[in-house]
A and B are shown apart, each in its own frame.
Chain A
Amino acid sequence: MEPAEIAAKIKESYPDDVVSIRDFRGQCAIVVKKDNILKILTELHNDPQFNFDFLKDLCGVDYLSKKIPRFEVIYQLYSISHRHMIRIAAQVLEKSPSLESCAGIWKTANWHERECYDMYGIVFENHPDLRRVLMPEDWEGYPLRKDYPLEGPEEEWRGFREVLQKHEEYKKYEWNR
């Protein structure tokens, strides 16, 4: 099925949830409200005409001062049997950055959602184990947000002093000292 055709069918089934359809270079993204995201994704996974069994990727995008709502969570879906793909973009508000987890549908979403939470602070409700994945567990702030300071936070990060102390301690093991 062509991406535009899939997008049209989803829009027909969920007229209130689909905000718009973005079409670029033959790829389609269905922009949806976050409320019924789990229902839409479940249908895309279970319905034999779509059969999106492979979640290629899940990530966040921060449109600070460019768009309202500020965040989007992007799902890249693919069907191995039908060989078609579609992109779902769920809108997430800045005030309440949360939406339903889809780790129950695709197990691979587990870590992708953890990464999205780690980088953007978007909370995935009913996620089995929502923890930071790439950054240290006690890290403050969300690095991929557009307003995150590029040179890091102004204050010292937790444990900074301890690392410096360790560095001094280990100097005695260096050669020629």
Chain B
Amino acid sequence: MEPLKDLNTRELVLNMGPQHPSTHGVLRLKLELDGETIKKCTPYVGYLHRGTEKLAEGMTYMQCMPLTDRLDYISSMTNNVGYCLAVERLFGIEAPIRAKYIRTIVSEVSRISSHLLWLATHALDIGAMTVFLYAFREREFIMDLFEMLCGARLTVSYPRIGGVKNDVTQEFIDKLYDFLLDFPSKIEQYETLINVNRIWLQRTVGVGIISAADAINWGLSGATLRGSGVNYDIRKHFPYDAYYQVEFAVPIGKNGDVYDRYLCRMEEMRQSVSILKQCVEKLPTGPIMAPDAPKFTLPPKDRVLSEMESLIHQFTLITKGPMTAPKGEIYVATEAPKGELGFFIVSDGTGRPFRMRIRAPSFVHVSALPSLCEGGLIADAIANIGSIDVVLGECDR
């Protein structure tokens, strides 16, 4: 057959997103294509920018808490905990041991919840429907647990500077324990569906490979970095809350492809179950708020309505303002489900942060997206976006 003489070729620019299911609603990728191959990928973010850092400068440390909920809204608890730890370090206060255990529990439950949503949507992007339904079934149970704990399901604002809002009930512990006994079999279910599924393997193995050195250089963190074989987990490097009292393994990948990042997160969920079991079994008794913390945290509503001391305390806090922080600057990072979530706070000695910087893992991960996508196919871009587990609320702040 003779070759076609009049065949014209031209480079095609394709705008993927922001209104696209696999780009999480507000991420736009400008793809320069040669056929189906991506020659250049340029991510555009900022569609969800709400000026969180600027807002924080006008609020007291206590008032900033709901802002942190709206960063990674898939796991609000971990953002709250990260922020509380940073402010506690700034003020030089320490939460009591029971509060630390409770925070570890809610952080790990959040991690499972976040990974479940990631698994569901990532699998759906690639074409697996059943996992999506199964993962949401378990996630709903976790949402119910949160509702039982603090009355909210998504934007929880549960932890407090110096402790937590209210104590856990026995009913919560019992339900959580039931969930922990049942959940490993559910993970097996997901794995049976996709672990050796030929379509899944062809879409993920050898796709979006990033070497360990490159991953570090790009500033990747969390399971995205560990998928490349780098053993960096803040829960091990700088243990916070009750992490220094529990034993767990850090899953590490070998090849740094989409499949390895998937395996890492699946194993992380198993490790979270193990951490949670240890925390529930060891949960100590005692107070849930540090003795010097109430100086800048509002007392519980029921006590304001029944005790004169609490009423006066609330009145002074609202009218005169909160306790002032010492002058200084602090950077505290925690291992959020997406990666390293850091809060850098500059205090000028007043009751409000002079500068609050949020180091969001999703922002860094989106910046590294071109290095994963370029040279691959358009279909692989979808797998890559899913595998770095981004939430644009956190990326855009």
> Could you pull out 22 A-B pairs where Cβ atoms are within 8 angstroms?
A25-B92, A53-B216, A55-B219, A56-B219, A56-B340, A57-B342, A57-B344, A61-B355, A66-B348, A74-B344, A87-B331, A106-B217, A107-B217, A107-B218, A107-B219, A108-B217, A110-B367, A111-B366, A134-B45, A134-B396, A134-B397, A144-B53
Query: How far does the Cβ of A80 sit from chain B's closest Cβ, in whole Å?
Result: 5
**B348, closest chain A residue (CB):** A66
Structural contact, B364 and A111, CB atoms closer than 8 A: yes
Q: Which residues of A contact B (CB under 8 A)?
A: 22, 24-25, 27, 29, 53-57, 59, 61-62, 66, 74, 76, 80, 83, 87, 106-108, 110-111, 115, 119, 132-136, 143-144, 150
Structural contact, B329 and A57, CB atoms closer than 8 A: no
Total residues of chain B contacting the partner, CB 8 A:
39
Instruction: Kindly list chain B residues whose C-beta atoms are within 8 Å of the C-beta of A56.
Output: 219, 331, 333, 340, 342, 359
B51 at the interface (CB under 8 A from A): yes
Instruction: Kindly list chain A residues whose C-beta atoms are within 8 Å of the C-beta of B218.
Output: 107-108
Structural contact, A57 and B331, CB atoms closer than 8 A: yes
Structural contact, A59 and B348, CB atoms closer than 8 A: no
Structural contact, B342 and A53, CB atoms closer than 8 A: no
Instruction: Kindly list chain A residues whose C-beta atoms are within 8 Å of the C-beta of B396.
Output: 134
Instruction: Kindly list chain B residues whose C-beta atoms are within 8 Å of the C-beta of A62.
Output: 355
Known: A57-B359, A144-B54. A136 touches B46 (CB 8 A): yes
B90 at the interface (CB under 8 A from A): yes
Q: Which residues of B contact A (CB under 8 A)?
A: 45-46, 49, 51, 53-54, 58, 89-90, 92, 214, 216-219, 230, 232, 237, 328-331, 333, 340, 342, 344, 346, 348, 355, 357, 359, 363-364, 366-368, 371, 396-397
Structural contact, B49 and A76, CB atoms closer than 8 A: no
Q: Once the chains are docked, how many angstroms separate the CA of A110 from the CA of B218?
A: 9
Instruction: Kindly list chain A residues whose C-beta atoms are within 8 Å of the C-beta of B363.
Output: 111, 115
Structural contact, A24 and B219, CB atoms closer than 8 A: no
